[in-house]
Amino acid sequence: MTVQDIIANKLERSFDALDADGNGYLEWSDYQKLADRYIEAYKLDRNDRRARALVAFCQMYWLDVLRHAGVDGDRLTKDQYVTATRLATIDTSRLNVTEGGAHAIFDVVDTDGDNEISREEYARLARDVWRIDASDALEGFAKLDVDGDGAVSRHEFIRAVREHFLSNDPEAPGSLFFGRV
C-alpha cells in the first residue's frame, strides 16, 4: 500500500460515515445530520455553546471542503471529497480542520468536563455518533490513550485527529477513528 492509499482509505471511510442517506454524495445535509447525531447522542440543547460550536464547525468545514473541491454544485463524490479534504487539511488560511473540529468534538464528548475522555465517553462517541462496532471502539480507545492512563486527554485527542488527516502510518492512533485501515 502506498503512502497516499492509507490517507485515502481513511478519508474514504470518513466519506462513508458522513454519507447519511447513502446516496454516494456528500451534501450540506449530511454534515447537518452529523451535527444532529452529536446533539442527540449527547442530549444537548441546540443553544448549548458546545452544540452551537459543533454546528458552526460543520458549516465552516463543509464550505471549506467545497471550496477546495472546485465544483460548480453543492455535492461531492467520494473522489472529490478525498481530494478536497486533503487540500483543506493542509490549507490553514481559513479554517484549521485538524484543530477546530477536534476541539469542538472534544468539548461535546467530554460530558463530565474533566478535560479527558473516559472509556465510556469514547464508547458513546463510537456507538452513537460514528456507529462503530464496540470491539473496534475499544481498540481505538487503547490507541488514543497514548500514555496509558485510562483516559484520552485533549492533547491526545487532537493529536489523533491530526494523524487521521495527515499520517501515513496505519498504526497511528488517528487511523482507527473509523475502524482498522
pLDDT of residue 78: 98
Cell of 66: 467545497
Whole-model pTM: value is 0.81
pLDDT of residue 154: 95
pLDDT of residue 141: 87
pLDDT of residue 103: 92
Q: What angle do CA 116, 60, 30 make, to 5 degrees?
A: 85
CA distance 153 to 160: 11
At position 123, the amino acid (one-letter code) is: A
pLDDT of residue 178: 56
- Facing residues of 179 across strands? 177
The pLDDT profile of the chain, 181 residues, written as one tens digit per residue, is 444 478 888 899 899 989 999 999 999 999 999 999 999 999 999 999 999 999 999 999 999 999 999 999 999 999 999 999 999 988 878 777 778 888 999 999 999 999 999 999 998 888 888 887 777 777 888 888 999 999 999 999 998 888 888 888 877 766 656 555 5
pLDDT of residue 172: 75
Residue 43's SS3 state is coil
Residues 6+ apart with CB under 8 A from 55: 32, 35, 39, 46
pLDDT of residue 100: 81
pLDDT of residue 2: 46
